[in-house]
Amino acid sequence: MKVSSRACGPVTVAKAYRLLHAILNTATDDRLIRRNPCRIKGAGQEDSPEREVISLETLVELLDRVPPRYRALVLLATFASLRFGELAGLRRGQLDLEGCAVRIVISTAETDDGRLIDDDPKSQAGRRRVAFPKEIAPELRWHLERFAQPGEGGLVFIGPKGGRLRRSTFRRTWTKARTAIGLPDLHFHDLRHTGNTMAAGQSASLRELMERMGHSSARAALIYQHATQQRDEAIAAGMGKLLRRARRKAARPGGGAGTELPSGTQRARGRKRAS
């Protein structure tokens, strides 16, 4: 099966290197060659460009611009961190509106000849259960009542004419909506990135992030933990500004407390004099 590059992304030099390295590793294990010659340090690594993170206010504005049949798609992409292929293959039976969770067991890929292939997620970790906020459950129920196919095996998301949801078909709608809110370069996958960032901001552990994202490697999850750490440092810096402002106010004549709080050294000297 030849899968379209639209589904799996362009083949980069780093990806080609990793494939060649894996092939030669197998040849080494089978004793066809003595040593893997593909040993360039750092060649298999690639720096992904920083993805867009949108605010919840922007998300609400985006939802107003997306046709009603696609609003649940946007909500699950964000608040359940789902990929487009996982959403395109989602069945009614995988949605638990009472428990506010979605089970991912299928991912849909589009081949070069236009066929849609339902397959297992790209890794075992991709088969997962993801919780979503109860606040979006009523909108998901509304969507199921109006747009989804009937039955437990019915598709949750379909096109306007009742056919399978295709990335190429949805792209026109997405382009129109993102342009309308002034973000012409916003990718649909950025919604997943936004959701992952929000999850990390709720103090999710590395393991929890990996399970939610459907990754077997910690590399991607560490990106969100790093972003959260930076945000935490910014929060601490803001708290420090408030403290400095309060101390300056207290040091002014008639400012209230009288003087700035003594430093640790000043307190230690005061205890020494008192003894």
Catalytic site positions: 83, 189, 192, 215, 224
Q: Give me 263's structure tokens.
A: 């430093």
In the chain, helix, strand, coil percent, each to 5?
55, 10, 40
- Rounded CA separation 19/110 (Å): 22
The residues pairing with 110 across neighbouring beta strands, listed in sequence order, are 116
Residue 244 parent element (H or E): helix 218-251
Task: Say if CB 81 and CB 212 are below 8 A apart.
Answer: yes
Task: Say if CB 77 and CB 191 are below 8 A apart.
Answer: yes
- Rounded CA separation 50/188 (Å): 14
